[in-house]
Amino acid sequence: MVFNPFQDHNRYLDKDPKDMTLSELRMLLKIKRMDLQLGWNELEGKIKFWQRVTRSLRESGILDKAKEGIQSYLQKDSPKE
């Protein structure tokens, strides 16, 4: 029997784990592990994406220019002594 998590998981959603057979419990555990792994992979992908974005911004010099622009704007607005 080949398990397809995109179709077979529906068989185990409404059933109480107390009423499941040993093979059904194993399948439910496998589903939960796969779901956890998919969630973890998605989180890692998002972290890596934002790391690449910030690295690109830093290497391009955009962040330094933005920081300089903000500092010059704040210096213009500060009261002169």
CA angle 38, 55, 60 (to 5 degrees): 145
**pTM of the predicted structure, to 2 decimals:** 0.55
Residue ranges in 10-80 assigned as alpha helix (H): 10-13, 22-60, 62-77
State residue 8's pLDDT score.
60
Taking only the tens place, the pLDDT of each residue in 4-56 is 655 666 666 677 888 888 988 888 888 889 889 999 999 999 999 999 999 99
> Which two tokens mark 34?
């796969």
| Of 10 and 71, more confident | 71
Phi-psi region of 14 (alpha: psi -120 to 50; beta: other; left: phi over 0): alpha
Question: Alpha-carbon distance 60 to 51, whole Å?
Answer: 14
State residue 63's pLDDT score.
86
Is the model's pLDDT at 1 over the cut of 90?
A: no
